[in-house]
Amino acid sequence: MRPEPLRPTAMTYTPLSESVELYQTTELSLSQIAARAGVDENELASELRASGVALRSEDQDAVTTTRY
């Protein structure tokens, strides 16, 4: 008897590096990708910026930015 294959659940953890790639290669929004990764939108936005990825215009208003 073979075990049933694992099926993804609605809440899956996605590492931030994968989240950055998803943001660059798909049309998923910042909030959708953050939810998949289980992180706050601001945390994902910071990771994107640190990776040199500009936020899409529709996602810029979704995050709080602090400039020093």
pLDDT of residue 13: 56
Asked if residue 8 belongs to a domain, the reply is: no
Asked if residue 25 belongs to a domain, the reply is: yes
Residue with tokens 């049309």: 27
* Stronger pLDDT, 62 or 32, i.e. the higher one: 32
Range of the domain at 34: 16-55
Q: Between the CA atoms of 39, 51, 48 and 32, what dihedral angle is there, to the nearest 10 degrees?
A: -70
Asked if residue 26 belongs to a domain, the reply is: yes
Asked if residue 63 belongs to a domain, the reply is: no
Residues with Cβ < 8 Å from 53, sequence gap 6 or more? 20, 23, 24
pLDDT tens digits, residue range 33-43?
A: 999 988 999 99
Work out how many domains the chain is built from and give that number. Answer: 1
Asked if residue 33 belongs to a domain, the reply is: yes
Asked if residue 47 belongs to a domain, the reply is: yes
Asked if residue 10 belongs to a domain, the reply is: no
Report residue 8's pLDDT band, with 50, 70 and 90 as the boundaries.
very low
Report residue 61's pLDDT band, with 50, 70 and 90 as the boundaries.
confident
Query: Which sign does the torsion angle of CA 26, 30, 31, 37 carry?
Result: positive
